[in-house]
Structure 1
Amino acid sequence: MRILVVEDEKSIAEAIQAILESQQYNVDLAFDGEAGLDYILTDLYDLVLLDIMLPKMDGVAVLKRVRQLGIEVPIIFLTAKSQLEERVTGLDLGADDYMTKPFEAEELLARIRVRTRQSSAGKVNHLKLGKVVLDVDQRKLSTTGHEVNLSNKEFLLMETFLRNPHQIIPKNQLILKVWGPMDDSDYNQLEVFISFLRKKLRFLKADIAIKTTKGIGYSLEEVDPS
C-alpha cells in the first residue's frame, strides 16, 4: 500500500514516514503543496496525509483541485488546533478525515486502517487500454494469449501511463514518481526502462505504444498493432 505524506516540516514528515514504514507501508514525501499535487495526480496512492499550512499551495487548495479532477483517493488532513475553519472547509470539499497535531502514532495508524478499508472494496485491480490489461495485484501485463511479468519500476511506469492515457507526462515527473530525486548521471535510467516496456509491448503484440514527445516526455497511445 502506497501513502503520500505532504508536510512542509521535514522532521514531522520523516517521523510519520518512519512510523508508516515500520508497518510495511510504502511512503513518499512532498514538502510543499505544488509538489504534493503533482504526486497525487499520478493516481498511484492508496491514501494521502495532507497538511493544511503548506508553502506554494495550501492543503485546502490542493484538496479542492484533486476533487475537481475526480480523484477519489482518501485524504486525511493534518491540522493545528487553531485551524477549525480550515478543517470544516476541507471536510466540505471532500476530505475524509482530519487529525490535530500533535497526535499519537497508534491513532494515526488506526485512522489510516479505517480509511483504506472503506476505499478498498471499490478499488480497481486491473487497468486497461486497448486490448492490454495490467493486473495491479500480480504486476503482470497481458493481451489475449500473451502475458509478461513487470519489474517494480516497469510496473510503476506502466501504472502511471495507464492511469493517465493519452496525456504527455514530463520526464522529470516520471523520474520523481518512480525513482525520487536523482543525479544527472542517472537520468538515462528512465530511457532504459521505457525501452524495456516497449519491448514487452511488442512481444504482447499490443495495440498501445509509448510515444515520445521530444524535449517534453512520454504518452501512452493506442496504435494499429500491424
Structure 2
Amino acid sequence: MRILVIEDEKKTAAFLAKGLREAGFAVDLARDGETGLEQARATKFDLLIVDIMLPHKDGWEVVAELRGDGVRTPILFLTARDSVRDRVKGLELGADDYLVKPFAFSELLARVRSVLRRAPQRQAERLRIDDLEIDMRRHKATRSGTPLNLTPKEFLLLAHLVRSAGEVVSRAEIAEQVWDIGFKTDTNVVDVVVRRLRAKVDDPFKTKLIHTIRGVGYILIARENRIT
C-alpha cells in the first residue's frame, strides 16, 4: 500500500517515512501543500497523512480541495494544533482521523491501519494462486497451509508477483514501485531478496512458482491464477 506524507518538517517527514516503510508501506513525501495537492491528484494513494501548518497551501486547504474534487482517499491529519475546535474542523472537512503532535509512532501506525481497515478496498484483501495464499490485511502468507515467515520486503515482492502473475516484473520495477527505493544497476539487492523469497516460497515445495527471465527480471507462473 502507498501512503503520501505531506509534512514540511524534514526530521518528522524522515521519521515517518522510515517507520512506515519498515512497516511494509511504500511512502511518498511532499514538503508543501501545493506539491502535496498535485501529487494526491496525480497518483492513487491508499492514505494521505497531512500536516496543517504547511508552506504555500495549508492542510485545511489541501483537504478541502481534494474532497471538493471528489477524491475519497482516506486522510489522517497529523498536526501540533490540538484544540477541540481544530479537531472538529479537520473531521468536518472530510479527514478520517486526527492525531496531535508529539505522538508515539506505535499509535500512529495503529491509527493508519485502523483507517485503512475502514476504507473501501481498491484491491483484493486475499490473493490466491495454486496453493499460495496471501492475506493483505494481516500481512501473512501461507503455502499448502504452511505459514511463510516473510520480511516486509519479501511480503511486498510476493504480493506484487502474484498480482502480476504471468507477466515479467523487472528489477527496476521491484525496487522503485514495490519497495519505493531507487534502483541501482551496480547492486544485487533485488536478486538477494528474490533468492531469500524463493528459499521460503519454493524450496520446500515440489512445484516452483518464481522463475527468472535472464537479463529481464522475474515472473510468477502457476497452473491456476485466481485472485479472491
Q: Give TM-score scaled by structure 2 length.
A: 0.56
Say if 2:166 and 2:221, in contact at 8 Å, map to a contact too: yes
- Could you say what secondary structure the match of 1:158 adopts? helix
Q: 1:90 aligned to 2:66?
A: yes
Structure 1: how far apart are the matches of 2:61 and 2:17?
28
Q: Percent identity?
A: 12
Counterpart-to-counterpart distance in 2, 1:100 and 1:120:
19
Q: Give the aligned partner of residue 221 of structure 1.
A: 221
Letter in 1 for 2:28: A
Q: Choose which of 30, 46, 54 in structure 1 pairs with 2:35.
A: 54
User: 1:151-188: per-residue Cα shift (whole Å, max 9, x none)?
Assistant: 45433321332344444433123224448346654x22
Counterpart Cα distance in 2 of 1:16 and 1:29: 10
1:111-154 deviation digits (Å, cap 9, x = unpaired) = 8755532432688764322321135547443125x554334543
Which residue is 1:205 aligned to? Answer: 206
Tell me, yes or no, if structure 1 residue 116 matches structure 2 residue 113.
yes
Tell me the equivalent position of 2:3: 4
Query: Paired residue for 2:162?
Result: 162
CA distance in 2, matches of 1:58, 1:182: 24
Change (3 A) 1:180 1:117: same
The answer on 1:130 being equivalent to 2:130 is yes
Q: TM-score, normalised by structure 1?
A: 0.57
Residue in structure 1 matched with residue 28 of structure 2 by the alignment: 30
Indicate yes or no: 2:150 matched with 1:150: yes
Matched, 1:14 2:11: yes
SS at match of 2:181: coil
Provide closer, same or farther for how the CA distance between residues 5 and 103 of structure 1 changes in structure 2, counting only shifts above 3 A.
farther
Change (3 A) 1:94 1:147: closer
Counterparts in 2 of 1:16 and 1:162: CA distance versus 1, 3 Å: same
Find the aligned partners of 1:113 and 1:147 in 2 and give their Cα distance.
Answer: 24
- SS of residue paired to 2:202: helix
State the Cα RMSD in Å: 4.6
Q: CA deviation at 1:207?
A: 6.8
Deviation at 1:85, TM superposition (A): 6.1
Q: 1:107 aligns with which of 100, 107, 111?
A: 100
Contact 1:175 1:181 in 2 (8 A): yes
